[in-house]
């Protein structure tokens, strides 16, 4: 991954600022700079690892962010950091959700006094293979329901539900393809970039998503969903999709399950 010179200079300044502070044994660069998606004016996102005692102190004080402009000399530049602990990283590697794991794709240590850090960073951005079949069923079922809901909303002239269902159909169609490719969901901001790099996908997927979001009509919803449905046999019947939605979404209050966007 090639880092732009002004971002590299900012990272060097950031590291120099904290690397001799015993409260901060490691600094990790993430975000668009680490992923290779940065624009010239992108900020530098980072996570700074504190001692457990310092983390607890800052957590109690609500002091978990570092945002500075003085370390950058390019237009619009700033560094934006979150304060974490080593135990946070260990828990993330063990049970983190997809967006939290995806945040570490391409991440690297600007400096580290923690011997095991590099190995730990390799364990975090890993697709949850054990749960893949459940996710594929859920994402297909949600796309199925949102496609149906757009048609119902158009019939009733409900603009709010039309636009929300269109967004949800785009989201879960995208998440289905990411799961098919064993790619982590990087949260909403980077969904289309992740789909662009997914190798096995319908040829016009991104064009159909854009068309639906530009004009949330029943016809555009049909074009996207039928493309997704016909891409392969997902192993979910219409009845199974309806039943899944009723028991896992409408009745989720019964089991207190985690919302799908946090998977």
pLDDT in tens, 47-81: 999 999 999 999 999 999 999 999 999 999 999 99
CB neighbour burial string for 32-70, b if at least 16 within 10 angstroms, e if fewer: bbbbebbeeebbbbbbbbbeeebbeebeeeeeeebebee
pLDDT at position 259: 73
Torsional sign, CA 153, 156, 161, 163: positive
Question: The whole model's pTM is what?
Answer: 0.91
CA quadruple 184, 186, 187, 193: dihedral, nearest 10: -120
Partners of 111 in beta bridges: 27
Q: How far is CA 47 from CA 22, 29, 125, 189, 227, in A?
A: 16, 6, 15, 19, 39
pLDDT at position 255: 85
For residue 208 the two structure tokens come to: 């159909």
Residue with tokens 């570092």: 66
- Is residue 58 within 8 A of residue 83, CB to CB? The reply is yes
pLDDT at position 28: 98
Give yes or no for residue 149 having a pLDDT over 70.
yes
Long-range CB contacts for residues 152-156, cutoff 8 Å, separation at least 24: 154/217, 154/218
Architecture in CATH for domain 5-123 = 2-Layer Sandwich (3.30)
Identify the band that residue 1 occupies on the pLDDT scale cut at 50, 70 and 90. Answer: low
Closest CA to 134 of 98, 101, 99, 169: 98
Structural domain boundaries in the chain: 5-123, 130-262
Q: What is the pLDDT of residues 191-229, one digit of tens each?
A: 999 999 999 999 999 999 999 999 999 999 999 999 999
Q: How far is CA 142 from the centre of its chain?
A: 18
Q: Which of 208-222, 224-238, 240-254 has the lowest mean pLDDT?
A: 240-254
Report the distance separating Cα 251 and Cα 219, nearest Å: 30
Give yes or no for residue 108 having a pLDDT over 90.
yes
């Amino acid at each position: 991954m090639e880092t732009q010179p002004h971002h590299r200079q900012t990272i060097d300044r950031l590291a120099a600022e904290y690397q001799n502070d015993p409260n901060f044994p490691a600094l990790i660069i993430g975000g668009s700079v680490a992923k290779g998606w940065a624009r010239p004016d992108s900020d530098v996102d980072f996570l700074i690892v504190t001692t457990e005692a310092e983390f607890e102190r800052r957590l109690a004080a609500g002091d978990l962010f570092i945002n500075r402009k003085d370390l950058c000399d390019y237009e619009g530049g700033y560094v934006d950091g979150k304060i974490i602990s080593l135990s946070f990283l260990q828990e993330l590697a063990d049970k983190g959700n997809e967006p939290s794991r995806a945040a570490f794709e391409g991440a690297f240590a600007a400096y580290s006094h923690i011997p095991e850090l590099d190995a730990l960073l390799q364990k975090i951005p890993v697709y949850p293979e054990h749960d893949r079949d459940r996710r594929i069923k859920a994402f297909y079922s949600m796309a199925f329901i949102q496609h149906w809901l757009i048609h119902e909303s158009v019939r009733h002239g409900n603009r709010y539900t039309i636009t929300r269902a269109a967004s949800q159909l785009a989201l879960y169609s995208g998440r289905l393809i990411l799961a098919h490719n064993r790619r982590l969901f990087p949260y909403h901001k980077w969904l289309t970039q992740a789909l662009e790099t997914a190798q096995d996908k319908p040829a016009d997927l991104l064009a159909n998503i854009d068309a639906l979001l530009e004009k949330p009509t029943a016809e555009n919803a049909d074009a996207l969903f039928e493309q997704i449905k016909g891409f392969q046999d997902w192993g979910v019947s219409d009845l199974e999709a309806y039943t899944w939605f009723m028991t896992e979404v409408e009745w989720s209050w019964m089991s207190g399950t985690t919302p799908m966007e946090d998977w």
